[in-house]
Structure 1
Amino acid sequence: MEKLNWRSAASNIEGHSSASQSLKEQVQARFELAQDLVREAGEFVKKELAQPLEVACKSDRTDLVTNLDLAVQDILIKGISQVFPEDTFLAEELAEQADVFSGAVWVLDPIDGTNNLVAQQENFAIMLAFFNHGQPGFAFIYDVMGQILLSGGGVLPVTCNGQPFEGQAACVRVNQSLVAGNSAMLRDNAFGLADIARDSLGVRVYGSAGISFLKVLQGKLLTYASYLQPWDYAAAYVLAPALGYRFLEAQGQALRFEGKQPVFLVPQHLEDYFLEKIRGGGRDAFSGRI
């Protein structure tokens, strides 16, 4: 993924401020606003967890949405729209979805790991990413209860809780790492995920793409693989290149930012290893260590 070039992209950004304001200033203004809103939303969630949750089912009994999912989405969208009214949104709990390749678009998952929120009150994340005509601007993955905010990427440096952050990808080794992934993919060895797990120290399933991606980007997991929607992977997609990671679409397609796709987040230096495993994946039952 190439970083957005300030000079060439300046003509693409839609005006939300004076023409004299540089693209960098516009992106920085969005970043600072979004960072404040993400932290505000996190504090709101922690406070509201003391109250009973309102829980509803969407497609089935395990596909849940709570009042906090909707409230966090509302905090982020309203806060951004007040300052940048022409920006649009691609969000999990939003009926009308924007095209990430058209204009200034925010991709957000207000609570990633809603089932964990309901059952554990931990291991969930707020995720938000900004794109300009499909070009990554910056992103946030916020482990709310762990109080870890990974931010930046795209055209900005990556920080963790406001401090410069460097990726650990180059230090990651298959036989010294743990794997996280979709349990059905592991069971069926879809795209070779069980084969990869057998080469590793074992498997962890966290129930949240945001938490799993965060651990990969911190060098605590070798990979995370699952069938994901755009709001599940957008933030990590923006942060990954600056930290030595990249996304692989397991069917060899481009990421559409529309509908579910099978994706792996992997260290760049191990890309050939993963491609070999993905292409050779069978349907054997998983017999590794869980």
Structure 2
Amino acid sequence: MTLSQFEIQDIDQTVLLWLDHLRIKTLIAMQQQLEVDTKHDVRDLVTNVDKDNERMINAKIRAFDSEASIVSEEGFGDQQRDMNGNVWFVDPIDGTMNFVKERANFAIMIALYVDNKPVLGWILDVVNNVVYHGGPQLGVFANHLRLDNPVNDTLSDGIVLLSGARLLYGMFGYDKIAKSALGYRVIGAAGPSFIRVILGQAVGYSSKMMPWDFAAGQVLAKTLGLSVSDIDGQPLNMLSSNIVLVATNRAHRDILTLHQS
């Protein structure tokens, strides 16, 4: 199914309204006592806000797009086996550790793919009240400001963002990548890291991610002419974890070369 420009604009504006409400709801929850639990280990946190946000987003998607499937982090979505039709990706709080401990550097992310093609993505920077949104037919916006494509810098020209745990243990050539960049940073969340790359504040970002971590970022990054792949340069599998690499075209080539050397 192909959506018209009008339909895509309508979906974009609808989701922006959801996110405006979600932002207020999340900020209020931050002023209250959070209920914090762990999932796979003590560093894999989940809060009542993650769960409440996901329930709310998924309910709105099902009311708005009843035939769609939902891939979401906290277990309230579908057990999706293919990318046929409308597939929504939901990360209700991206960077939960940052949300709990820093109260900053976290995001809410939603994406829509149609028959495995990226259509729209939204990354809400809750604290700074900016939604990065758009897609191939609309362009990419920070709230109402249209963004230009980032400068196509090399790895040595800029800052690279990396997964801290994998950098610490020298996995995937991250140590060589960090040494070859002008500088490196560890943000600890996918959404804020994607934001820095699409704004041209970093030339690349790589980490192990689940589909809800990278779905929105991939839509926005590709729309802005950035390269998105796994660490071996292959297309991302939208229904499994990937070692994701998003970068300027030149930095992408530099990083792949280092990883493969």
Which of the five TM-score ranges fits, normalised by the shorter chain? over 0.9
More displaced stretch, 225-234 vs 152-161: 152-161
Deviation of residue 176 (structure 1)? 3.5
1:143 maps to amino acid: D
Deviation of residue 89 (structure 1)? 0.5
> 1:155 is paired with a residue of what secondary structure?
coil
The residue number in structure 1 matching 2:120 is: 138
Per-residue deviation, residues 216-265 of structure 1 (Å, max 9, x unmatched): 11111121111111111111111112222111211344311122211111
Structural RMSD (CA): 1.7
The residue number in structure 2 matching 1:150 is: 132
1-structure distance, mates of 2:18, 2:151: 29
Alignment CA distance shift 1:26-1:100 (3 Å) = farther
Aligned pairs (5 A) from 1:212-223 = 212-223=193-204
> 2:66 is paired with a residue of what secondary structure?
coil
2-structure distance, mates of 1:90, 1:100: 11
Counterpart among 6, 10, 25 of residue 44 in structure 1: 25
1:174 aligns with 2:161: no
- Retained in 1: the 8 A contact 2:154–2:248? no
> 2:41 is paired with a residue of what secondary structure?
coil
Alignment CA distance shift 1:266-1:124 (3 Å) = same
1:114 aligns with 2:87: no
Sequence identity percentage:
30
The residue number in structure 2 matching 1:234 is: 215
1:123 maps to amino acid: N
Deviation of residue 79 (structure 1)? 1.6
Pairs aligned (count)? 260
Deviation of residue 100 (structure 1)? 5.6
> 2:237 is paired with a residue of what secondary structure?
coil
Q: Please, which runs of 5 or more residues in structure 2 have no aligned partner? A: none
Q: Please, which runs of 5 or more residues in structure 1 have no aligned partner? A: 1-11, 14-21, 281-290
Counterpart among 216, 222, 226 of residue 245 in structure 1: 226
2-structure distance, mates of 1:51, 1:183: 29
Aligned pairs (5 A) from 1:1-290 = 12=1, 23-95=4-76, 96-99=78-81, 101-170=83-152, 172-280=153-261
Q: Normalising by structure 1, what TM-score?
A: 0.84
Per-residue deviation, residues 26-73 of structure 1 (Å, max 9, x unmatched): 322221111111221111101111110011111111111111111111
> 2:55 is paired with a residue of what secondary structure?
helix
1-structure distance, mates of 2:73, 2:228: 21
Deviation of residue 274 (structure 1)? 2.1
2-structure distance, mates of 1:62, 1:217: 27
